[in-house]
């Protein structure tokens, strides 16, 4: 029998292939209307595929999907799949590679968040809890520390946070090259930048939905990163409304200085 993690990875990859094929066969995307139509079709067709596959394989499970109709019945369900059929919809319509498919399973109990997959089809890459990992390497000392942020909604205090963090890292001798901000689309793509060693943290403070966060959160844990709310508390899923107020995902050696810098920037 296919395990939950195997099912998650297989379905996410299949949805990713669908999204690539749809975009490649869509034709010219030379105006806003065409791009928006592609985005709508991508969201809908990926959603339908994922719902069909999950319903067939796990008919008793609830599903919370960005493109589906929410139902508070899921609050009492023993197992809830949390799905974003196309995270980074804007980037997808631009022909970019930083979009993803998110699939995760939430089940009350000691494991709670499991079977997490972030598929990055345009990058030919899948991040899954099934992958063997060694954990993150040391913080870089030959380049600036990099913080990933939203292109459209970066934290207002992030520039000051960067200044304070750079000062703290230099004073402690951890890194003397400063700190820089980079922007990437999907939450899954942002977390992948950290997993891939191209960045060390991701910070977001204006909130988003559970389907944006659940799979990247679980994948981050699997790869040895530290995801949490900005205050250090653990995110809880399958809530009503399904909203996550803020998020920090960090290399473990950066958690303490980054959180201190965020707190100091918020009151300065």
Q: Which of 80, 95, 128 is the last residue of a domain?
A: 128
Q: Which of 102, 128, 154 is the last residue of a domain?
A: 128
Angle at 67 (CA atoms; ends 77, 16), nearest 5 degrees:
100
Q: For residues 112 and 204, state if they share a domain.
A: no
Residue 94 placed within a domain: yes
Give pLDDT, residue 108: 73
Distance CA 144, CA 261 (A): 16
Provide the b/e sequence for 126-158 (b: ≥16 CB within 10 Å): bbbbeeeeeebeeebeeebbbbbbbeeebbebb
Q: What does the mean pLDDT of the chain come to?
A: 95
Q: For residues 83 and 33, state if they share a domain.
A: yes
Q: For residues 59 and 12, state if they share a domain.
A: yes
Q: Pick from 203, 193, 200, 215: which is nearest to 259 by CA?
A: 203
Q: For residues 116 and 179, state if they share a domain.
A: no
Q: Which tens digits make up the pLDDT trace of 59-84?
A: 999 999 999 989 899 999 999 999 99
Residue labelled with tokens 């990099």? 146
Give pLDDT, residue 111: 63
Enter the pTM of the model: 0.96
What percent of the chain is modeled with pLDDT above 70?
99
pLDDT of 29 strictly over 90 = no
Give pLDDT, residue 193: 97
User: Which tokens go with 104?
Assistant: 């995760």
Q: Which tens digits make up the pLDDT trace of 90-137?
A: 999 999 999 999 999 998 776 689 999 999 999 999 999 999 998 899
Q: Which tens digits make up the pLDDT trace of 178-233?
A: 999 999 999 999 999 999 999 999 999 999 999 999 999 999 999 999 999 999 99
Q: For residues 23 and 81, state if they share a domain.
A: yes
Domain hosting residue 222, numbered range: 145-267
How many structural domains comprise the chain?
Answer: 2
Q: For residues 71 and 162, state if they share a domain.
A: no
Q: For residues 224 and 161, state if they share a domain.
A: yes
Q: Which of 67, 101, 128 is the last residue of a domain?
A: 128
Q: Which tens digits make up the pLDDT trace of 232-260?
A: 999 999 999 999 999 999 999 999 999 99
Q: What is the CATH number of the domain that holds 105?
A: 3.30.540.10
């Amino acid at each position: 029998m296919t395990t939950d993690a195997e099912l998650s990875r297989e379905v996410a990859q299949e949805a990713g292939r669908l999204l690539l094929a749809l975009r490649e066969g869509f034709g010219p995307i030379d105006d806003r209307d065409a791009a928006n139509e592609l985005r709508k079709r991508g969201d809908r067709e990926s959603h339908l595929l994922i719902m069909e596959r999950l319903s067939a394989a796990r008919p008793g499970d609830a599903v919370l999907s960005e493109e589906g109709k929410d139902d508070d019945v899921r609050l009492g369900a023993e197992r809830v799949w949390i799905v974003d059929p196309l995270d980074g919809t804007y980037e997808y319509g631009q022909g970019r590679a930083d979009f993803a498919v998110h699939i995760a399973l939430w089940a009350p109990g000691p494991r709670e968040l499991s079977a997490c997959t972030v598929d990055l089809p345009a990058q030919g890459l899948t991040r899954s809890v099934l992958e063997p990992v060694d954990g993150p390497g040391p913080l870089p000392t030959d380049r600036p520390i990099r913080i990933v942020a939203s292109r459209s909604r970066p934290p207002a205090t992030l520039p000051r946070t960067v200044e304070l963090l750079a000062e703290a890292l230099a004073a402690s001798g951890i890194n003397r090259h400063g700190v820089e901000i980079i922007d990437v689309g999907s939450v899954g793509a942002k977390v992948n930048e950290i997993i891939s060693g191209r960045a060390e943290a991701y910070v977001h403070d204006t909130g988003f939905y559970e389907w944006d966060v659940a799979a990247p959160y679980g994948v981050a844990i699997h790869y040895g990163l530290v995801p949490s709310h900005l205050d250090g508390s653990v995110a809880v899923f399958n809530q009503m409304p399904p909203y996550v107020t803020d998020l920090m995902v960090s290399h473990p050696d950066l958690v303490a200085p980054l959180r201190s810098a965020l707190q100091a920037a918020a009151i300065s």
